[in-house]
Amino acid sequence: MSLPWLGVDDGKSYTLRNSWENEDMATTPRPIAHDTITASSSTIQVPATPVATVPPANPFIGVDDLLALKVVSDPQISSNGSLIAYTVLQCNEEANTTSSTIWLIPSKGGKVQTPRQVTGTGMKKHHDFAPRWSPDGHFLAFLSDRNGSIQIHVLPLAGGEAQQISSLNQDITEYSWRPDGKAFLAHSAWKPIDDHNQPDTSTISVMYNRLDEQWDGLGYKQGRYQQLWLITLDGSATRLTSEMADIVQSCWSPDGTEIAFCANRRSDPDLSVSKALWVLTLATGQMRCLTSEDELAQMPAWSPDGQSIAYYYSIDQTETSNISPWVVNVHDNSAPRPATSSAMNLTCLELIVDELHNSMIGHPLWFPDSHSLLVTVQERGQVHLYQLDIEHDQTMKLTSGNGCYINPQLSKDGQIITMIRTDWFTPGDVWRMDSNGENRHKLTGVNDTLLRSRQLVRPKRITWQSFDGLEIEGWLYLPPLQQGMKAPLILEIHGGPSLAWGDSYVHEFQILAGKGYAVLAANPRGSAGYGEEFCKQTLNDWGGNDFRDLMAGIDHVLATEPVDGTCLGIGGSSYGGYMTNWAITQTNRFKAAVSRNGISSLFTSGLLSDQTLWFDYVMRGTGSEGGEVLQHSRSALTFADHITTPLLLLHAENDLRCPLSESFQLFVMLRKRKHTVELVRYPGVSHLIDLPDCGTPKQRTDRLYRTVEWFERYV
């Protein structure tokens, strides 16, 4: 396959010349054998033409280029299939804010098609997002914070200004049109005292009597929980539920008489993280449970014929089990079942870590015949689209090659699929294809102008044998090197631990590679996309065999690539921050370390985190080593006196997932020993500081500048 790229130094560096619109063509879907679901997926090899002139004309990616990147998400197909609405988020550097707008583009594609912005013209700090077409296609609804809180707005496609529909006291977090197009179902927080208009006293005192009183990104919830609301087009709102638990991820029955949703309605919902699938009958207000309350049901989708609900199922709440598509009959009290006999081998996560997108999982999508589902499947650093034929028990892969296909949507007639496609050189664009996987086309090129003017370093997929023979995979970014030269190496560790690096654009990696560093983005055991058994191997073993996988990866790269073993750095965020802290207590091979929103003590973090129950599940200990003993024995704080590596600690002030105290206590201990350590606190931001809808533009670039400077100073 010939691609429009120019390369430098044996195909390692590329300059984008043209949109990659029709090169990644689909293959005919094929049935997948039940025992090959987790088999290795191929990565397209991109041939390159060597360029004689060194240095190249275009610069490499820089830190500030991050603020020029636009993030595309949430494509939605109109009812007649002719238009696709989508969201574009951008940074406003001068105002230090982000904003998002809604755009439209014809679904047929072609070079003559030009996207059209339909909301947010001239706005630099408001966010319009979550576009949803009315059933008749005459209106486009969306969420917006333009008037101070997030509410539903409706734009008439025939012309005219968008009008605000809802006026709830709290933000709306999700919503959908009723099938008749005359009302909305919305989710918004509520507590009983809200009905009495009593003053807010949270500035005076805050009371906790449950473990779920706060959540990262939300902060203190003030005793409110997400409820269902019915909002008519004139703005009248009726609350449908009054639960002391969050009701989430709802969908309508096709006739609009019932609502499916997920919730933990057990007597002490804060003492477990399970969720069951429930159905609310609007005429009676009665609820019935369709799945076990001990397990985890997510993202229900009602079949067009009204007989079944598809959803994603996990047997436990450790985040290491597969998230698989299941189906339950709504009417006959039969037991839920996997969508196909091979469905249990699938994990339907959408998230490959790129620090731009935060789409963890979407709803399964029904084809019009109510016999097949469209789902995303994560596998070996990629996300692909699959069709599950429930009637004939077949699983077919619709996409192929490299990249990640996320946020898919299926047209009403089942003929068109639209999605966001990302890969190592593209932060994401809107694509479309036929429902059988053919005629795949790129529809937008929101970052092409920038990326054509920059050099990008293409990673190569590598594998190595760990200490016990287990195959581990990673992506190696090698900078252009003169003959006989070796590059310093930075080991980058993802969060989770049940997430993964892969075929995605990671700005930090491009910056480091452009400055001459090799980057190893490793997926040790515990990473998603390599099968359930692989993912479960970090349970009760953080800092154990996962650490050995990473060290084996470095040894492999040193033995096979032009990398300098005396110039090593390490970094990561969240679990990656934990592993960074832990690694420098176990070895002195690293010359510099950058830990971001990390953990220094599993014991204290497990008590203070908003996910305290989850820490109990994943590091609860074994029969020979109790939970508290295990947590202390796998914590960097316990062995801080072993640290010799200069350490930079970056931490979000309002991080409730891995609290700021985790970095602060390690900083205090090291500073008392006069060790080389710095702590940087980022005010007013939560755990996901790297995402454009969380951290401010200046915070995101500041942490990149500090990261690069630390490695330049010490590696």
Q: What distance in Å separates the CA atoms of residue 16 and residue 453, rounded to the nearest whole number? A: 7
Amino acid at 419: M
Reduced to 3 states (helix: H, G, I; strand: E, B; else coil), residue 61 is: coil
Answer yes or no: do 220 and 186 share one domain. yes
Q: Is residue 297 domain-shared with residue 330, that is, in the same domain?
A: yes
- Kindly state whether residue 37 falls inside one of the protein's structural domains: no
The CATH number of residue 551's host domain is 3.40.50.1820
Residue 372 located in a structural domain: yes
Residue 3 lies in a domain: no
Residue 113, pLDDT score:
78
Q: Are residues 264 and 118 in the same domain?
A: yes
Asked whether residue 650 carries a pLDDT value surpassing 70, the answer given is yes
Position 35 pLDDT exceeds 50: no
Instruction: Supply 529's token pair.
Output: 């996309």
Q: What gap in Å lies between CA 522 and CA 506, rounded to an integer?
A: 13
Please report the pLDDT score of residue 241 as a whole number: 98
| One domain for residues 445 and 465 | no
Q: Is the pLDDT of residue 144 over 80?
A: yes
Q: Which residue has the tokens 């420098």?
A: 584
Where helices occur in 340-492 by DSSP H, the ranges are 448-452
As a whole number, mean pLDDT of residues 571-597 equals 98
Structural domain including 158 reads 63-195+214-450
Last residue of a domain, one of 403, 428, 450: 450
pLDDT tens digits, 334-348: 999 999 999 999 999
Q: In this structure, is residue 513 part of a structural domain? A: yes
pLDDT (mean) for 637-644: 98
In this prediction, residues 230-249 reach a mean pLDDT of 98
**How buried is 359 (Cβ within 10 angstroms: 0-12 exposed, 13-18 middle, 19+ buried)?**
middle
Mind listing the pLDDT tens digit for each residue in 687-714?
A: 999 999 999 999 999 999 999 999 999 9
> Given 417, 450, 483, which residue is the final one in a domain?
450
| Cα-trace Rg, the chain | 25
Residues 562 and 375: their CA atoms lie apart, in Å, by 40
Q: What is the mean pLDDT of residues 226-241?
A: 98
Residues 381-407 pLDDT 10s: 999 999 999 999 999 999 999 999 999
Query: 518 and 446, same structural domain?
Result: no
In a domain, 144, yes or no: yes
Same domain, 546 and 397: no
- Residues with Cβ within 8 Å of residue 653, at least 6 apart in sequence: 660, 681, 682, 683, 684, 685
CATH number for the domain harbouring residue 249: 2.120.10.30
Q: Give the pLDDT band of residue 543 (cuts 50, 70, 90).
A: very high
Query: In whole angstroms, what is the distance from residue 435 CA to residue 442 CA?
Result: 15
Tokens of 260: 């499916």
pLDDT of residue 625: 76
Report the percentage of the chain scoring pLDDT > 70. Answer: 91
Angle ∠(228,229,232) on CA atoms, nearest 5: 150
Same domain, 436 and 468: no
Residues 159 and 304 in one domain: yes
Q: What pLDDT score does 30 carry?
A: 40
Residues 427, 480 within the same domain: no
Domain count for the chain, please give it: 2
| 361, pLDDT greater than 90 | yes
| Residue appearing with tokens 């985790």 | 662
Distance CA 555, CA 162 (A): 58
Residue 223 contacts residue 191 (beta carbons within 8 Å): yes
Structure tokens at 573: 């965020």
Quick one: 89 and 168 in the same domain?
A: yes
Contact criterion met (CB below 8 Å) for 102 and 83: no
- Note whether residue 52 is domain-resident: no
Residue where a domain stops, chosen among 404, 428, 450: 450
Question: Which pLDDT score is estimated for 656?
Answer: 98
Residue 23 lies in a domain: no
Confidence (pLDDT) at 20: 41
pLDDT per position as a tens digit, 90-116:
999 999 999 999 999 999 876 667 999
- Cα separation, 100 vs 106, in Å, equals 20
The pLDDT value given to residue 151:
98
Q: Is the pLDDT of residue 157 over 80?
A: yes
Res 32: pLDDT? 41
Q: Calculate the CA dihedral of residues 448, 450, 455, 459 and round it to 10 degrees.
A: -60
The rounded mean pLDDT for the chain is 92
Q: Is 435 in the same domain as 480?
A: no
pLDDT surpassing 50 at residue 24: no
Residue 428 lies in a domain: yes
Looking at the structure, do residues 529 and 424 belong to the same domain, yes or no? no
Do the beta carbons of residue 433 and residue 439 sit within 8 Å? Answer: yes
Query: Which residues fall within 8 angstroms of residue 196, CB to CB, at 6 or more apart?
Result: none
Residue with tokens 């006959």: 332
Which of 110, 131, 99 has its CA nearest to residue 407?
131
